[in-house]
Amino acid sequence: MTATELKARTHPPDILPRPRFELIAGPCAVESRSQVLETARAVDEAGATMFRGGAYKPRTSPYSFQGLGHAGLELLHEAKLETGLPVVTEVLDPRDIEKVLEVADVLQIGARNMHNYALLAEAGRTDRPVLLKRGFSSTLDELLMSAEYILKEGNDEVILCERGIRTFESAYRFTLDLMAIPVLKQRTHLPVIVDPSHAAGDRALVLPLSLAAAAAGADGVIVEVHPDPEHAVCDGAQSLSTAEFPEYVQRVGEARAVAV
């Protein structure tokens, strides 16, 4: 699916108010065919606008699961063919971009790679929108400069993503910087979305953070969803179950309706 088709795609019309609000949902990592297809069907049915899933995973420990790689991309492709949902997937290494472009409708550059200028420039030379996550110790100025590395190469479709930053607070995984939403919107024309899952590290916090983000004017959320979070290979604690996802969509849609 091309970027233009992606934009033209409309989804269950009455769930989320317009202007368009991106509801990007799916597992942290591609684990298996059944896990990917089951999640893709469920989030599609509930009104997600895009499907997320990592085939290449940036893990803090080099001994943790690193993703299925190329095999994972093929499963994402299958999910796209079946549901029609555009696929958002992360690229870690410029050497993988060509392969990732065979399936990705949106290239994700993760928090750990926000300062990987070679990767940013390479993504800037593609024709795909780039979802750029804020590094967890990065300022908004630095995020915007990283976006410039992509824009400078001629790719003007950059989606900024606030995903939580490190602060002195240790009661939760990261601190979601909600102020980033209005401030980035003042300072740029780029869409701004929020990742409540990685900010929270705890599924109980995902709905309240998403409601706040939608009401504060975010252009979307990217949220982790898994058919069986207890047994997820990574980030299960912060993943919503496919069973609870439809109600989540409903609630976020309501919050969006009161957006500033």
Size of the site for ligand PEP (CB under 6 A): 10
Residue (of 131, 30, 121) closest to 76 by Cα position: 30
Q: Which of residues 40-59 bind ligand PEP (CB under 6 A)?
A: 54, 58
d(CA 110, CA 96): 14
Least separation in angstroms between residue 214's CB and Mn ion is 20
Please check whether residue 115 is in contact with residue 140, taking contact to mean a CB–CB distance below 8 angstroms. no
d(CA 243, CA 225): 9
Listed ranges 107-115, 140-148, 184-192, 212-220: which one lies at the site for ligand PEP (CB under 6 A): 107-115
Residue type, 11: H
Q: Which is nearer to ligand PEP, 195 or 219 (CB)?
A: 195
Q: Which is nearer to ligand PEP, 42 or 234 (CB)?
A: 234
Least separation in angstroms between residue 121's CB and ligand PEP is 19
Which residues, other chains included, contact 59 with Cβ-Cβ below 8 Å and sequence gap of 6+?
A: 65, 66, 234
Pairing of strands 158-162, 87-90: unpaired
Least separation in angstroms between residue 148's CB and Mn ion is 26
Instruction: Determine, following the binding rule CB under 5 A, whether residue 103 of this chain makes contact with Mn ion.
Output: no
Q: Which of residues 224-243 bind Mn ion (CB under 5 A)?
A: 235
Least separation in angstroms between residue 169's CB and ligand PEP is 17
From Mn ion, ligand PEP, none, which one binds at residue 191 (CB under 5 to 8 Å depending on kind)?
none
Please check whether residue 94 is in contact with residue 119, taking contact to mean a CB–CB distance below 8 angstroms. yes
- One residue of 68, 103, 111, 252 binding ligand PEP per CB under 6 A: 111
d(CA 195, CA 51): 14
Residues that bind ligand PEP (CB under 6 A): 28, 54, 58, 110-112, 133, 163, 195, 198
